[in-house]
Chains A and B, each alone.
Chain A
């Protein structure tokens, strides 16, 4: 079933909209000009993952000899962070950063005639 979300033009980069589909709340995000849709339930304790904030992935920089040089934020790797307990997911894919076997429930999105739909 295709559910209408809104006009694609209404979404700036990073905008989101949370829609209700028969009692299921689904978050639709615009990232890299595309649309990603996730169920608003974190696999951890059921927190509202789609209401979380975006944070750049933290990376450690090592020297050639293995010494730790620094830790830095990489804005090209945006993560969606659960507001309840901090579980971090790749905003583009819904894959958990700490354990790739854990993934958000994802939904297919389509854009037709400038309108965004979720297949749910």
Chain B
């Protein structure tokens, strides 16, 4: 009999090694914040749709849920993202393509809350900023009003049903960015809602972040004191990306490209000068793109200063004032590249750890903790301190369970 028939074995705890890392490294001694982790809202449309406002869009959504069930409804509502996240089944994700005891555990709380808290405990994380998954590309929906309706329903469901179940789980409000006026309404509706620590734009869309229509949005968010985040993704149907024939290719380039486009518009049009108190966070493109763009924009700005008249300093100086999430952090064999990157982005004060769990390229906290060129203070700032300051979280360690055993 082929050995491949014995390829898969039962595993009770897929994150046991993360738990052992947390115990060995003493995460009990300081706060660890994960600024970007996900749940699969596509399983919950039957619960979310009732939060839509009455009307034809709700009727449409209800009919899709009735027809398609959980996943099928998601495809019809938010669209389908082409992909091969698990590399042909090689990567195991508990609760996604691998069943573990948590799938059948009896618990009064929502399954997404239960699984998120479990993952946090395994990795030694105190607070997590939770965010959806298929909605990451909802900004591509040609019906602007659909993004608005689903975003509002999702955020109401999330903040009323899930977040009250545990104070360790926070969120940044999904903004229906294709409609600036509705985006502004969302900021006002959710800015003081418990558990809301910021606002999020999913970056895969075709909107210019510097358009004057967004000025009231940025002013309102600045007023709240909470960060505005841009969450990158890939879009394989983007014309330039259709040249790429492998998931590795589109995943490598797609995330970084959409972050770079928005960042370039943000800086060249002087938004940091216009909203100096607005905290901006760039999520999920790793770090290597940042020094690339710093060098590229600085070099061009020196030659073409007149095209960016609002700037009072170099583009890289503005980027250094911004926040970045760490995952998926590139760890090249030449370790000096990462060390220089940390220096260029002022990582001890501006970098925030993110896991992206349970997505396929997640990072455990050890990727930061084990870096040889960081001192203990810098490690703790990146793993939690910077996020506590930016999001206004209590820096006291909360109950988590990284102990051995």
A83–B366 CB distance below 8 A:
no
The reply to whether the CB of A46 lies closer than 8 angstroms to some CB of chain B is yes
A91 to B5, CA, bound (A): 15
The reply to whether the CB of A94 lies closer than 8 angstroms to some CB of chain B is no
B89–A46 CB distance below 8 A:
no
A41–B87 CB distance below 8 A:
no
The reply to whether the CB of B292 lies closer than 8 angstroms to some CB of chain A is no
Q: Which of B10-18, B44-52, B231-239 contacts the other chain?
A: B10-18
A54 to B7, CA, bound (A): 5
Q: Which of B33-41, B295-303, B357-365 contacts the other chain?
A: B357-365
B367–A45 CB distance below 8 A:
yes
The reply to whether the CB of B82 lies closer than 8 angstroms to some CB of chain A is no
* Chain A nearest CB, measured from B101 CB (Å): 15
> Which B residues between 288 and 339 are near A, CB-CB below 8 angstroms?
none
* Number of interface residues, chain B, beta carbon within 8 A: 30
Q: Give the chain B neighbours of A75 by CB distance below 8 A.
A: 2, 4
A53–B366 CB distance below 8 A:
no
* Chain A nearest CB, measured from B245 CB (Å): 10
B9–A51 CB distance below 8 A:
yes
A78 to B88, CA, bound (A): 15
Take A16-B9, A55-B7 as given contacts and tell me if A45 and B363 are in contact as well, using a CB distance cutoff of 8 Å.
Answer: yes
The reply to whether the CB of A12 lies closer than 8 angstroms to some CB of chain B is yes
Take A83-B14, A83-B91 as given contacts and tell me if A53 and B2 are in contact as well, using a CB distance cutoff of 8 Å.
Answer: no
B3–A78 CB distance below 8 A:
yes
Q: Give the chain B neighbours of A88 by CB distance below 8 A.
A: 90
* Chain B 360-385: CB-based contact to A (< 8 A → 1; otherwise 0): 11111011000000000000000000
* Chain B nearest CB, measured from A24 CB (Å): 10
Q: Give the chain A neighbours of B364 by CB distance below 8 A.
A: 45-46
- Nearest-neighbor residue (CB-CB) of A81 within chain B: B90
B17–A41 CB distance below 8 A:
yes
* Chain A 81-100: CB-based contact to B (< 8 A → 1; otherwise 0): 10111101001000000000
A84–B6 CB distance below 8 A:
no
A-B contact pairs, 24 of them (CB 8 A): A13-B3, A14-B4, A14-B6, A14-B7, A16-B9, A41-B17, A45-B363, A45-B364, A45-B366, A46-B364, A51-B9, A51-B14, A52-B92, A53-B89, A53-B90, A54-B7, A55-B90, A81-B90, A81-B91, A83-B91, A83-B92, A84-B92, A85-B91, A88-B90
Please list the 4 inter-chain residue pairs (A to B) with the smallest Cβ-Cβ separation, ordered nearest first. A14-B3, A14-B6, A83-B92, A54-B7
Chain A residues near B (Cβ < 8 Å)? 12-16, 31, 40-41, 45-48, 51-56, 75, 78, 81, 83-86, 88, 91
Known pairs A46-B21, A51-B14. 5 more at Cβ < 8 A?
A: A46-B364, A53-B90, A81-B91, A83-B91, A86-B86
